[in-house]
């Protein structure tokens, strides 16, 4: 028995409705949670992945995957390893030690609906990035016709100014005798 801490009035809360499976198609998703779990039989482990749909009318919906990475059935392990490899390729992570390395990176999944009405992921691929459009070609040079005009007198060219004096004092170079101008005055 569990005390609810008061009376719960179900007439004041909209009841939850069963969620239908996602329609078959491609969805952009990201893994938001993952963990290794023990199989029902207790003889193996699977990687459980929770994914969020990122776009469209189904944004925010959840999709789940279970990959039997430790199992006595070697075929189940091989299928799961190929699926994990497809996820790694889609996310550009070729070597992974922890499943958290795959979180919050977008990828595309192909979803189908199985006979029991549940979603089944049929494939993974990288999100294609739209290629940048090449820059437009430069416009052709415009040629304009100018009517010839009478030659005008040219103004005289400006006179060149002498270079600005250098800043700071620079003593003159010593003469051949070694005496500079200041040394020539003796008392």
Concatenating the DSSP letter of every residue in 110-138 gives EEEE-TTS-EEEEEEEPPPPPPPPPPPPP
pLDDT band at 180 (very low <50, low <70, confident <90, very high): very low
pLDDT given at position 181: 43
| Structural domains for the chain | 22-125 (2.40.50)
Predicted TM-score (pTM) of the model is 0.63
**b/e burial code for range 123-159 (CB count within 10 A of at least 16 → b):** ebeeeeeeeeeeeeeeeeeeeeeeeeeeeeeeeeeee
Query: Shortest CA distance to 53 belongs to which of 101, 100, 121, 116?
Result: 121
List, for residues 81-110, the tens digit of each pLDDT value.
999 999 999 999 999 999 999 999 999 999
Residue 82 dihedral angles phi and psi, to the nearest 5°: -65, -40
**Mean pLDDT along residues 162-166:** 52
List, for residues 23-81, the tens digit of each pLDDT value.
999 999 999 999 999 999 999 999 999 999 999 999 999 999 999 999 999 999 999 99
Q: What is the DSSP letter of 99?
A: G
State the Cα–Cα distance between residues 82 and 150, nearest whole angstrom.
Answer: 84
């Amino acid at each position: 028995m569990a005390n609810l801490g008061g009376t719960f009035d179900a007439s004041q809360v909209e009841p939850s409705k069963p969620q239908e499976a996602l329609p078959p198609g491609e969805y952009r998703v990201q893994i938001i949670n993952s963990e290794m779990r023990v199989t029902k039989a207790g003889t193996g482990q699977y990687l459980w992945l929770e994914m969020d749909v990122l776009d469209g009318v189904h944004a925010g919906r959840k999709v789940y995957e279970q990959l039997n990475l430790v199992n006595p059935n070697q075929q189940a392990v091989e299928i799961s390893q190929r699926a994990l490899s497809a996820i790694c390729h889609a996310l550009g992570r070729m070597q992974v030690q922890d499943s958290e390395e795959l979180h919050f990176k977008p990828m595309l999944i192909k979803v189908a609906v199985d006979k029991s009405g549940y979603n089944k992921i049929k494939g993974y691929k990288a999100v294609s990035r739209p290629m940048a459009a090449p820059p437009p070609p430069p416009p052709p040079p415009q040629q304009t016709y100018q009517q010839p005009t009478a030659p005008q007198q040219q103004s005289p060219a400006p006179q060149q100014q002498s270079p600005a004096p250098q800043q700071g004092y620079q003593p003159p170079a010593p003469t051949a005798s070694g005496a500079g101008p200041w040394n020539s005055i003796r008392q």
